[in-house]
Amino acid sequence: MTPEAQPHPEVTAVSAGAQPRISLTRRLIAGVWLSQLFLALALLGLGVLLTRRQLLAAFDTDLHSRAMAVAALVRYSESRPHKLKFDPTLLPPSRPRRLPNFYFVFKSGENHLGRKIIAAYWPQVVPPVMNGKRYMNLRLFEHNYRVIMLRRLPVLDKEAHLPHPLPRLTVYYAAPLSPLVAQVENFALYIAVPSGLLLLLAAGLTVWGIRRGLGPLRGLAHEAAAISDRNWSFHPAPAAVATAELAPLIAALEAMLERLHGSFLRQKQFLSDAAHELKTPVTILKTTLQSLLQKPREAEEYRLGMEQSLEDLDRLQALLERMLNLARVEQLSAAAAPRPAPAQLKATCAAAVARIAGWAATRGIQITQDYAEDFQVAASADDLEQLWFNLLENAVKYSPEGGSIRIALQSPRAGWVRVSVEDSGPGIAAPDLERIFDRFYRSEPSRDRQTGGFGLGLAIARGIAEAAGGKIYARNRPSGGACLMVELPLS
């Protein structure tokens, strides 16, 4: 499918059985709206609670005034003996008028259960038991009432020659709570309606703000969707670049694209180089066989031609084996496979030296081993041996006859080990110090095809080092020659 024919990520249907998509916009809107709703309800509840307390305090003050007014209607009779009497004609009117107020008055110290009552307008003859409380809520005639009890009130009407001690009054007064409830409900309604309207307005502004705020992210997605193997340009919009929250994402995308582009170019270069390397032995082999078939030849000529063809096939086989080995170590580096058992570096280095010693001896090259101590690395012993062999092979290849090579182990810092291979060759040109580990790369003129290599040995060495969690690099020695170093983490 071409990039033009690919469906946009926002309109791609969710396949059957796939996990449903989650809308970040809806989550943000829902989160903000729920938080605003919670805040509005909390403020409404707090306002209603405080208003009810204030109104209840005012209601209690009015209830106290009404109870005192009832107590003021108790006076002595003018004729002797002076007796207490109650004048109900001056009672304050009930509020609301459709529900009556109740009162109950008796002398303090007397048993009001014995019906020695001064005045009573109560649903029951016996007033409620307050248990030392001044206020109490009651349910009377399917309505809520609030009762106040005032103790030891003096009789305000004073007549001459009254017997002492003067009596004290106890007054119960009950008024309905419906006015208070109505006021609280009205207040809640007056607050809830504007709050609801403001909440709807805030929700609309939230939707608009979030959608506008996520606009740079959508633009970033469009830019990323336009990237293909023919288009590696990534130009985020200025609004996305100016957004602080998107800066880490943009930087990560740019770094990822740079790595992917580099990997893509390396893969293309690898295919080109592999085709070129394979073409040479195949062309030579084909030419040799065609020359043998052009005319009848002697048996010796056929034998020599077949031997040459076998040599070309051996080179082709060696190239294919190295390519397969490179693919294996690069796959091992990319896979999240469990670490192998620790391997002893000294043993793997000694095994690699033993493998290369014969070739080095034919060229009169002396190999020196410097192992001050041994180290363990969590990597395959066979891969480590192949790594050191490739480094030694490179050193032998580019060292002059009668030269010297040194392989050494040391610990540059805690938790790490360094393996260095020094040769006495011409060294490495400065521009090639980083590129010699690329696949099929050879520097000219000292490292070309005349050495018989394919340009894969150091690439395989880098793949093994990176698969073990380490790194490989090269530098030139001040005294001449090259030094290839591998640093690995200790197990």
Q: Considering the domain boundaries, does residue 32 fall inside one?
A: no
- The CA distance from 5 to 62, in Å, is 81
- Residue 372 makes CB contacts below 8 A (sequence gap 6+) with 409, 410
33 occurs within a structural domain: no
150 and 170, same domain (yes or no) = yes
Sign of CA dihedral 278, 279, 282, 288: negative
Cis peptide bond prior to 165, omega within 30° of 0: yes
Say if residue 438 is in the same domain as residue 355. Answer: yes
Same domain, 264 and 179: no
Domain end residue (candidates: 163, 185, 207): 185
Same domain, 131 and 164: yes
Q: Retrieve residue 468's tokens.
A: 């073990």
Cα–Cα distances in Å, from 484 out to 403, 407, 413, 440, 481? 17, 10, 18, 18, 10
57 plus 169 within the same structural domain: yes
In a domain, 1, yes or no: no
Please tell me whether residues 258 and 136 are part of one structural domain. Answer: no
Tell me the chain's radius of gyration from C-alpha atoms.
Answer: 50
State residue 184's pLDDT score.
92
> Are 144 and 111 in a shared domain?
yes
Based on the fold, state whether residues 349 and 437 are members of the same structural domain: yes
Q: Which residue has the tokens 């009668």?
A: 402
Residue 124 main-chain phi, psi, to 5 deg = -125, 155
Q: How many domains does the chain have?
A: 3
Measured CA to CA, the distance from residue 165 to residue 108 in angstroms comes to 12
Structural domain ending residue among the three candidates 160, 185, 210: 185
253 and 361 inside one domain = no
Residue that terminates a domain, selected from 185, 205, 223: 185
Residue 452 region, left (φ>0) first, then alpha (ψ -120 to 50), else beta?
left
CA dihedral 44→45→50→54, nearest 10 degrees, is 90
Domain that holds residue 293: 245-331
- The residue type at 338: P
Tokens of 335: 């896979």
Geometric angle at alpha carbon 6, from 2 and 9, rounded to 5°: 150
Q: Is residue 137 located within the same domain as residue 81?
A: yes
Domain assignment present for residue 37? The answer is no
Residues 327 and 347 in one domain: no
Q: Is 190 exposed, middle or buried (0-12, 13-18, 19+ CB in 10 A)?
A: exposed
CATH classification at residue 257: 1.10.287.130
Tell me, yes or no, whether 346 and 469 share the same domain.
Answer: yes
How many C-beta neighbours within 10 Å does residue 324 have?
10
Residue 211 lies in a domain: no
User: What HEC string does the chain produce?
Assistant: CCHHHCCCCCCCCCCCCCCCCCCHHHHHHHHHHHHHHHHHHHHHHHHHHHHHHHHHHHHHHHHHHHHHHHHHCEEECCCCCCCEEECHHHCCCCCCCCCCCEEEEEECCCCHHHCCEEEEECCCCCCCCCCCCCEEEEEECCEEEEEEEEEEEECCCCCCCCCCCCCEEEEEEEEECHHHHHHHHHHHHHHHHHHHHHHHHHHHHHHHHHHHHCHHHHHHHHHHHCCCCCCCCCCCCHHHHHCHHHHHHHHHHHHHHHHHHHHHHHHHHHHHHHHHHHHHHHHHHHHHHHHHHCCCCCHHHHHHHHHHHHHHHHHHHHHHHHHHHHHHHHHHHHCCCCCCCCEEHHHHHHHHHHHHHHHHHHCCCEEEEEECCCCEECCCHHHHHHHHHHHHHHHHHHCCCCCEEEEEEECCCCCEEEEEEECCCCCCCHHHCCHHHCCCCCCCCCCCHHHCCCCCHHHHHHHHHHHCCCEEEEEECCCCCEEEEEEEEEC
Give the predicted TM-score (pTM) of the model: 0.50
In a domain, 14, yes or no: no
Q: How far apart are CA 21 and CA 27, in angstroms?
A: 12
The token pair at 132 is 């030392």
Backbone angles phi, psi at 84, to 5 degrees: -75, 135
CA distance 207 to 199: 12
Q: How far is CA 180 from the centre of its chain?
A: 52
Residue 3 resides in a domain: no
Does a structural domain hold residue 383?
A: yes
Per-residue pLDDT of the chain (491 residues; tens, 9 = 90+): 344 444 444 434 444 445 667 777 788 888 888 888 898 899 889 999 999 999 999 999 999 999 999 988 888 777 777 778 888 888 888 877 888 999 989 887 654 444 467 888 888 777 888 888 899 999 888 899 999 999 888 888 776 666 667 778 889 999 999 999 999 999 999 988 988 898 888 888 888 888 887 788 878 888 888 887 778 777 787 877 777 777 888 888 888 888 887 777 767 766 766 676 677 677 777 777 887 788 888 888 778 878 777 877 777 776 677 677 666 666 665 555 566 778 888 899 998 899 888 888 898 999 999 887 888 888 888 888 888 988 898 889 888 888 899 999 988 888 899 999 999 888 888 877 777 877 777 665 444 444 555 677 788 888 888 888 889 888 998 888 889 999 999 87
| 278 closest CA partner among 334, 240, 227, 316 | 316
Q: Which residues pair with 102 in a beta bridge?
A: 174
In the block, which residue shows the tokens 């009117």?
93
